[in-house]
Every structure is written in structure tokens, then in C-alpha cells.
């Protein structure tokens, strides 16, 4: 598959205007042309990280230049620590130096870290400049590219400072995944399974039929994988952009126990990728739903088996950590003011928010997800 493959476009219906997610193998070469369809400006500010920048910044900058935008490239350190006010501050300095006025776009080139950071800077510089996103990880393609959440982290927690700010468009070039590490590639698949379990039984079946191709990053299956993920998330975001009705909260499936596992592994100096923790967190959520009598055992085992087949962990090496995980889950509850709310699946493709989840059910979930 190469640049001759046709583009697929999914529209995300949000305020103040809808935007397209364009999935196009080889599409990076058209970044400038796509941007020119959306706006006219003399300059564009490209934000990437050093890993992605080394691989793709020259190509992206050339594409921008060809379409009449004078590019400035700014590369941050790879990793979560770049999602900070400090990094944002350095970018503001560079935006000023590059004379980025209100007409000029900020363009992200990278994964969720660069996307969240660029969106935040674009939302705040001059009270908002145009923003476009070129995403290069599975996590960003299936999740972070849709919904307009932008943020940097604060000492008190992740994503504490941010804004809803929608891009002009998102470009997903699946060919860029060839250079992504196997670990990062697989971690992103957890969110894809999440979307299927929460909202789309047919998409879950599709994962089962293609699990081996998905696990091994066979490029032929990737455009459909991304298109269907973007459709699921776009449909939810269009109905509940600001997380008011509870619909968007369904996307937290697997994340309550998942976040606890992520924290516990980090504390042990063996950090897991977010998606790995979510994978085990979804195993816990499936077990909790069975204990609650809401999901049948066979469906829960299908979820666990799919997670395993795409190469994700179904349990974390935290056998000694039941109490610690429980405390971390309880702490999460305080953040959401009061009740312990859990997203559980009643069936594959149908999740709901429950606030009556009992302690022993959660214990059963934790027991299953640590080994």
C-alpha cells in the first residue's frame, strides 16, 4: 500500500464547526496541500518531538513549503514530560520569534503528546490560532485525534491545564506506523478494543477476524481500523462534546482499574504504557461486570482473549498490590466527587455507567487483572 491508496474521510461534528479526519497512506506528502484547502497564511509552525522529527519533519516541512507556507520546525523532547507549561512557554517564545500571527496555523506532527501540546498552544496563543494535527501513533490515530481535548500536565495531575479546541483537520498517514516501536504500536490497540466493546459489536467481530494482522501491523488492515475507530469516537463526541450527558464518559471503559495499574507500575520503576494498563483494566472491568451479573462469562472471555491475541497484557505483575490498587481506585473516586462510577459492558458493543458497583465485585476484577 502506498500513496496511490485513496483517502478515507470521517467528519467529526463538533462546535463551532465540523472537521475532517483524513486517513491516507502516504498522505504526509500532501500535508501542505490539505492545509492550503483550509486556510491561507504566509507561515506555518510545525511542532514535533525529536524522534518523529528526525524521521518525518523534513518531509512535512517540504510539503508545507511546496504549498506556499514558510515552515518553522520546533522539536520537543519525546515523552510525557514535554506536556508541560514549561515546554509551552518555550514554544510561545518561538512563536513570537517566528511571527506567528492569528492567520498562521500550528501543525502537530507526532503522537498524543505532541498533539495535546500543540493543541494547547494553538488554543492559547493570541487567544487561538488555527490548528492542524498530523498524527503518527496508534493511540493518537484511534483516540487523541478526535474530540478536541488539548492539555498540558500539572504537578497535581495529568491534563490539568487545557482547553477544548478543535483542529481544522486531522491527517492520519498509516505508513508512518512502520517506524513506531512494537510496544507503542500494540499499546494503542487497547483503545481500539475499548471502542469496539463500548459501542460496536460488529467492529469487535472484525477485530477477532483480523487479530493476527492487527497484532503484526499489516498495513492493509490499518485504514479500516482507524476509520472505524474515528467513527465510533466521533459519534460519541458529537453527542457529548463536553462530557455532560455521561455518554463520553463511556470511553473510560477499562480506565478506572487501568489508571491504578499505570500508577502502581510507575511507582515500581517499571512504567507501563497507558494502553497496556488499560488492557489489563478492561480485563478487570469485564470480570467486574460478570461478578455484577451484567455480562455473561462467555462474552467476558471473548474480550480477554482478543486483548491477548493482539499482543497486549491481560494481567499486571502486581500480585502483591491488591490494597494499593484499591486505594488508588478510591482516590480516583474523590476526584469525581462522591460515588465510585464504573463503566461496565452489559454485552459486547454496549457499555453503561454504573454507580452501584459493590466492593467485592471490584475485588474480583482486581484479582483477575493482577497476576
Ligand X SMILES: NC(=O)c1ccc[n+]([C@@H]2O[C@H](COP(=O)([O-])OP(=O)(O)OC[C@H]3O[C@@H](n4cnc5c(N)ncnc54)[C@H](O)[C@@H]3O)[C@@H](O)[C@H]2O)c1
What DSSP assignment string belongs to 115-165? Answer: HHHHHHHHHHGGG---EEEEE-SHHIIIIITSS-EEEEEETTEEEEEEEE-
Among residues 26, 78, 317, 349, the one that binds ligand X under rule CB under 6 A: 78
Q: Is 195 a catalytic residue?
A: no
| Angle separating helix axes 359-369 and 322-335, nearest 10 degrees | 120
According to DSSP, the β-strands at 43-49 and 106-110 are parallel
What DSSP assignment string belongs to 90-121? Answer: HHHHHHHHTT--TTSPEEEEESHHHHHHHHHH
What is the number of the residue whose Cβ is closest to ligand X? 112
Q: Is 72 helix (H, G, I), strand (E, B) or coil?
A: strand
* Shortest distance in whole angstroms from residue 193 CB to ligand X: 14
Which stretch in 5-13, 106-114, 308-316, 335-343 sits in contact with ligand X by CB under 6 A? Answer: 106-114
Q: Is 233 a catalytic residue?
A: yes
* Shortest distance in whole angstroms from residue 293 CB to ligand X: 31
Check residue 116 for interaction with ligand X (CB under 6 A).
yes
Provide CB contacts within 8 A for 322, sequence distance 6+: 363, 366, 367, 370
Report yes or no: 220 and 212 within 8 Å, Cβ to Cβ: no
Closest alpha carbon to 326 in 358, 350, 371, 355: 358
Among residues 124, 137, 229, 263, the one that binds ligand X under rule CB under 6 A: 137
Catalytic residue of the set 274, 276, 287, 368: 274
- Tally of CB atoms within 10 A around 29: 16
Which stretch in 45-53, 260-268, 294-302, 327-335 sits in contact with ligand X by CB under 6 A? Answer: 45-53
Which stretch in 12-20, 50-58, 96-104, 252-260 sits in contact with ligand X by CB under 6 A? Answer: 50-58
What backbone phi and psi angles, to 5 degrees, belong to 314? Answer: -100, -5
Among residues 180, 237, 291, 306, the one that binds ligand X under rule CB under 6 A: 180
Q: Which is nearer to ligand X, 137 or 229 (CB)?
A: 137
Q: Is 248 a catalytic residue?
A: yes
Check residue 30 for interaction with ligand X (CB under 6 A).
no
Q: Is 347 helix (H, G, I), strand (E, B) or coil?
A: strand
Q: Is 274 a catalytic residue?
A: yes
Which stretch in 11-19, 123-131, 136-144, 258-266 sits in contact with ligand X by CB under 6 A? Answer: 136-144
Catalytic residue of the set 51, 139, 141, 149: 149
Check residue 81 for interaction with ligand X (CB under 6 A).
no
* Shortest distance in whole angstroms from residue 292 CB to ligand X: 27
Among residues 30, 133, 136, 263, the one that binds ligand X under rule CB under 6 A: 136
- Tell me the C-alpha distance between 340 and 82, whole Å: 31
Q: Is 268 a catalytic residue?
A: no
Q: Is 367 helix (H, G, I), strand (E, B) or coil?
A: helix
Report yes or no: 299 and 283 within 8 Å, Cβ to Cβ: no
Check residue 29 for interaction with ligand X (CB under 6 A).
no
Among residues 44, 61, 104, 140, the one that binds ligand X under rule CB under 6 A: 140
Q: Is 60 helix (H, G, I), strand (E, B) or coil?
A: helix
Q: Which is nearer to ligand X, 43 or 158 (CB)?
A: 158
Catalytic residue of the set 186, 233, 273, 368: 233
Residue 294 DSSP one-character state = S
- Tell me the C-alpha distance between 313 and 151, whole Å: 28
Report yes or no: 44 and 69 within 8 Å, Cβ to Cβ: yes
Among residues 44, 76, 91, 144, the one that binds ligand X under rule CB under 6 A: 144
Check residue 52 for interaction with ligand X (CB under 6 A).
yes
Size of the residue set binding ligand X (CB under 6 A): 28
Which residues participate in catalysis according to the annotation? 127, 149, 191, 233, 243, 248, 252, 255, 259, 274
Interacting residues toward ligand X by CB under 6 A? 49, 51-52, 55, 78-80, 83, 110-114, 116, 136-137, 139-140, 143-144, 147, 149, 159, 176-177, 179-180, 184
Amino acid at each position: 500500500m502506498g500513496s496511490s491508496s485513496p483517502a478515507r474521510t470521517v467528519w467529526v461534528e463538533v462546535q463551532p464547526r465540523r472537521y475532517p479526519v483524513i486517513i491516507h497512506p502516504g498522505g504526509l506528502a500532501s500535508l501542505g496541500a490539505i492545509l492550503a484547502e483550509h486556510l491561507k497564511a504566509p507561515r506555518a509552525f510545525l511542532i514535533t518531538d525529536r524522534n518523529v522529527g528526525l524521521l518525518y519533519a523534513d518531509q512535512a516541512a517540504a510539503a508545507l513549503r511546496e504549498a506556499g507556507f514558510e515552515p518553522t520546525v520546533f522539536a520537543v523532547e519525546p515523552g510525557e514530560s514535554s506536556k508541560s507549561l514549561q515546554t509551552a512557554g518555550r514554544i510561545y517564545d518561538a512563536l513570537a520569534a517566528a511571527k506567528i500571527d492569528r492567520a498562521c496555523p500550528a501543525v502537530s506532527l507526532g503522537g498524543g503528546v505532541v498533539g495535546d501540546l500543540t493543541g494547547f498552544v494553538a488554543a492559547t496563543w493570541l487567544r487561538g490560532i488555527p490548528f492542524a494535527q498530523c498524527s503518527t501513533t496508534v493511540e493518537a490515530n484511534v483516540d487523541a485525534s478526535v474530540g478536541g481535548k488539548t492539555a498540558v500536565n500539572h504537578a497535581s495531575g495529568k491534563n490539568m491545564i487545557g482547553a477544548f479546541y478543535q483542529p481544522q483537520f486531522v491527517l492520519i498517514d498509516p505508513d508512518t506506523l512502520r517506524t513506531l516501536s512494537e510496544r507503542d504500536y500494540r499499546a494503542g490497540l487497547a483503545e481500539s478494543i475499548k471502542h469496539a466493546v463500548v459501542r460496536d459489536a460488529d467492529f469487535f467481530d472484525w477485530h477477532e477476524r483480523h487479530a493476527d494482522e492487527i497484532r503484526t501491523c499489516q498495513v492493509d488492515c490499518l485504514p479500516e481500523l482507524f476509520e472505524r475507530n474515528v467513527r465510533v469516537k466521533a459519534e460519541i463526541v458529537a453527542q457529548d462534546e463536553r462530557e455532560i450527558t455521561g455518554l463520553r464518559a463511556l470511553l473510560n471503559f477499562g480506565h478506572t482499574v487501568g489508571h491504578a495499574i499505570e500508577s502502581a507500575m510507575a511507582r515500581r520503576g517499571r512504567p507501563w504504557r497507558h494502553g497496556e494498563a488499560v488492557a489489563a483494566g478492561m480485563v478487570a472491568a469485564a470480570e467486574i461486570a460478570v461478578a455484577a451479573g451484567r455480562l455473561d462469562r462467555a462474552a467476558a472471555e471473548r474480550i480477554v482473549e482478543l486483548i491477548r491475541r493482539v499482543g497486549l497484557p491481560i494481567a499486571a505483575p502486581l500480585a502483591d498490590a491488591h490494597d494499593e490498587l484499591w486505594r488508588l481506585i478510591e482516590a480516583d473516586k474523590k476526584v469525581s466527587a462522591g460515588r465510585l462510577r464504573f463503566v461496565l459492558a452489559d454485552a459486547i458493543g454496549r457499555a453503561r455507567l454504573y454507580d452501584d458497583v459493590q466492593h467485592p465485585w471490584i475485588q474480583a476484577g482486581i484479582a483477575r487483572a493482577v497476576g
